[in-house]
A and B are shown apart, each in its own frame.
Chain A
Amino acid sequence: MNNEATIFSRHYCVFFEKSITTLQMENLLREFMMSIGRTLSRYGIILGHIKLLAKLSELAVEHYLFLSLTTLDNVSVIPSKCWPKVSGVSIGCIELDVNVLVFGYTVNEVEVQVDGALKKLGRGR
């Protein structure tokens, strides 16, 4: 295997057709991570990591979810301290910082997977 890891780091804004709740957003982001991870894994293992910071861009302070994936079906989710206070908020758009560091795949291959997962998530830009 190539000893160079591929580093993919992008920022996105995602708009939803209809506003969603924070719980729906968390579930969508779990699936977003899994969607990327399923293709970039070997025998269920990511040879690297997939990390995501999702921020509620409609709010001034930092309300965010941190998600990471190294083993399929085991998405780790950590909310920021403020997160529970906004559980009733309807979300129209979110900002995503996506970091994928992985061995065995090119940047283009990673980008294709991330773009595909974004299309399922909402309208990205």
Chain B
Amino acid sequence: MRILLFGGFLGSGKTTTILQVAKYLTTTRQEKVVIVENEIGAAGIDDKLFANSGLQVKSLFGGCVCCQITSELISAIDEIHKTLNPDWVMIEMTGLAYPDKTANSLKKYSKVYSAFKTVTIVDRGRWAELIATLKPLVLGQVTGSDLIILNKVDLAGEDIEKIERDLHEVDERMKVVITSAAKNLSVAVLEEVVRFE
């Protein structure tokens, strides 16, 4: 069971990306996928999008898995492994979470996965404004990522090379792919997401 942990700021395109990666795995590779959805708010919205696509979804409400309900996430992963034993678990973090913190907790306390990867989605259209106002959060979210998807490049926004420089200031080895999930991810990008070294 491989785990893909998806992070990124609110509205960066996590759900849209996960839906496409999950569809690719279930249809092209015929592999079994379970989504773990962590959402803030009284009413779940994103989980209905996943369920509408025929995907199995485990919803975690009541707080953020990186800082408030980490143990619930670890229990949920163990339970999914025991009862469903999928090929893949994709975790969608809230847009306020620090993926690195959750990744560290899962790596430390969960023993049921064979491979783990953190993918963070970055929104090109809002990058400059977010860096100007919420820099610690936005750069904290990309820290420790195995792959960055620089999304919404079809929209106006910060110069792409400038964003890449900002990202590489966090980690010069950070791998970045550039795309627009709203216009369907290419097979090359999908393969990059599901590839393990």
**A residues near B, CB below 8 A?**
1, 3, 5, 7, 9-11, 42-43, 45-49, 51-53, 62, 64, 66, 68-71, 74, 76, 78, 80-81, 97, 99, 101, 103-104
Contact = CB atoms under 8 A, between A and B. Distances in A.
A3 B137 contact: yes
Interface residues of B, number: 25
Contacts of B182: 76
Contact of B49 (A10, A74, A78, A103): A78
A46 B10 CA distance: 9
B11 A70 contact: yes
Interface of B: 10-12, 40-43, 45-46, 48-49, 52, 95-96, 123, 125-126, 129-130, 133-134, 136-137, 155, 182
A104 B96 CA distance: 14
Given A47-B133, A47-B134, A71-B126, A9 B52 contact: no
A5 B123 CA distance: 18
Contacts of B40: 7, 9, 99, 101
Given A47-B133, A99-B41, A101-B40, A74 B11 contact: no
Contacts of B43: 9, 11, 53, 97, 99
